[in-house]
Chains A and B, each alone.
Chain A
Amino acid sequence: MSLDLLERATRALRETTDASDAAALDRVLERIERPKPSRGLSMRHVRIVAWTLASSLLGVGAWANVTGRVSWFVPEPARAPEPAAAAPPAAPAPRERARRRAPAPAGLEQPEVVDEPAPPELAPEVVPPAPVPDPAPSEPRRDTPKRVAPVAPSATREARPPARLAPPAPDADSLYRAAHDAHFARADYAEALALWDRYLAAAEPGQRWTIEARYNRGIALYRLGKNDAAREALEPFARGEYGSYRRSDARRLLDALPAPSQPARALPSAD
């Protein structure tokens, strides 16, 4: 063997592919002279692509709707600012007064945030009685004014059920004002609790300020040292049953409460 393997293979390749394939020439000539089919997209292809896109969009839309992510791309209705956010700062005097009248229950560490919400429309006195050592940026209503101008219903609170927009009955209104006055102006939590209960009994389930009243009732119970009742009242807020409304505040309050097994504390103000 004088030639190496590569040279033999090269020769074999040269000999097995020669130019004598006349049939191939005829075939190619025939193909060249045949009109070439258009490479453009046919309507069938366009339809397939369109159906695929449409079904994908429908699927994504259905999924987003079911999982609640539809808000990503559906513009929400005009978001109302937090009621307290639109309110001017509260006067310092009632805050100090409330703090003096309602000290934190003994043995119970005061939570960082103890805000009672106040409806801007019906409750003019919106004074958070608790000290606010660590204000969160998302809680601008801490410095709520004593008197605020009525706010349009659409600008009151985010994600409020439509039923709550119904105007409250007159007696419920007056009950709310009285409860609010007792709670925030006079810091008489026992009276405020009774009035909150009366308001909630008088108000219709979907009435405007019932959620705020429930939260304020929980705060009143907390101030009175009724831990179990306060926990029961605040837990729905902490669980998010009312959306994000006062959720973090309720959690902080619940964390500050002693465990349910511990004996109830003495009532700080009722004693």
Chain B
Amino acid sequence: MICHILFDVGLFHPKPVGAREGASPDDERVSRAARGERAAFVSLYREHFAEVHTFAARLLGCPMAAEDLAHEVFLALPQALGRFRGQCSLRSYLLSITVRRARQHLRAAQRRRAAESRAMKEVEATVALAADAELARRELAARLNRALDALPLAQRAAFVLCEVEERSSAEAGEILGEKAGTVRNRVFHAKRTLRERLAELSPDSLAGVLEVES
């Protein structure tokens, strides 16, 4: 519980489960980037940005906020590399930074989503009943994002890592600095809450979405 709270306030740094003993492929570039070599940094950036950006987009549910968050993670990377001891893969380390720095961006995204939701209420039914499957899919994703807003950040991150990104609970635990069992527990509670929330979000229009989707 204390770890959960510390994680939420960004004071808990992940201690990866099963720290790696051997050298990772990123090791050399990491040490060069940590020394300030621009080429090494750009190389790492080009390799990992897409994954960080995608995870940020799924975690925040907002492409603009995701871009800002990914930008922030890589801006912080040179300093963060100074603390990186190779306990986990650089990818997991970057995603853990993303989760820690997501709180502010998540609040902004939630505010933006709430405002958009109010503004779009009038056309909601039209969109939901649209014949276009792509529109319906986007609408369903948007609804899940709104439902995710009801979750605490730790549960949200666990759900996105395990269910949306289909990572194992062990890998998610490495990113979140938690045990796999804790991650699974969070995912379980997150799914229960999300099912309730999705059912509350105008069932009629959701039925329309499902009909189009099927």
Contact = CB atoms under 8 A, between A and B. Distances in A.
B58 A13 contact: yes
Given A9-B143, A13-B61, A16-B138, 18 more contacts: A6-B191, A6-B194, A6-B198, A8-B210, A9-B194, A10-B164, A13-B141, A13-B145, A13-B164, A16-B141, A20-B50, A21-B63, A24-B67, A25-B49, A28-B49, A29-B42, A31-B71, A32-B71
Contacts of B71: 28, 31-32
B67 A12 contact: no
A219 B165 CA distance: 96
A12 B54 contact: no
A4 interface: yes
Interface in B44-95: 45-46, 49-51, 53-54, 57-58, 61, 63, 66-67, 70-71, 74-75
A110 B51 CA distance: 95
Interface in B86-107: none
A193 B141 CA distance: 99
A134 interface: no
Interface string B3-33: 0000000000000000000000000000000
Interface of A: 1, 4-6, 8-10, 12-21, 24-25, 27-29, 31-32, 36
Interface string B153-182: 000000000011110000000000000000
Contact of A32 (B54, B74, B138, B195): B74
Contacts of A21: 50, 53, 63
B14 to A, nearest CB: 22
A5 B198 contact: yes
B183 interface: no
A9 B50 contact: no
Contacts of A5: 195, 198-199, 206, 210
B213 interface: yes
B113 to A, nearest CB: 13
B192 to A, nearest CB: 10
Contacts of A13: 58, 61, 140-141, 144-145, 164
Contacts of B51: 19
Contacts of B165: 14
A16 B50 CA distance: 14
B53 A10 contact: no
B198 to A, nearest CB: 5
Interface residues of B, number: 39
B53 A4 contact: no
Nearest to A7: B163
A260 B24 CA distance: 105
Given A19-B50, A19-B51, A28-B49, A12 B210 contact: no
Nearest to A23: B67
A15 B50 contact: no
Nearest to B209: A8
B137 A12 contact: yes
Contacts of A27: 67
A12 B140 contact: yes
Contacts of A10: 144, 163-164
Nearest to A13: B141
7 nearest CB pairs, A to B: A9-B144, A19-B50, A12-B140, A12-B141, A17-B57, A19-B54, A13-B141
Contacts of A9: 140-141, 143-144, 147, 194, 198
A6 B195 contact: yes
Nearest to A22: B50
A1 B144 CA distance: 18
A19 B48 CA distance: 10
Contacts of A8: 140, 210, 213
B84 to A, nearest CB: 18
Contacts of A17: 54, 57-58, 63, 66, 141
Nearest to B59: A17
Contacts of A19: 50-51, 53-54
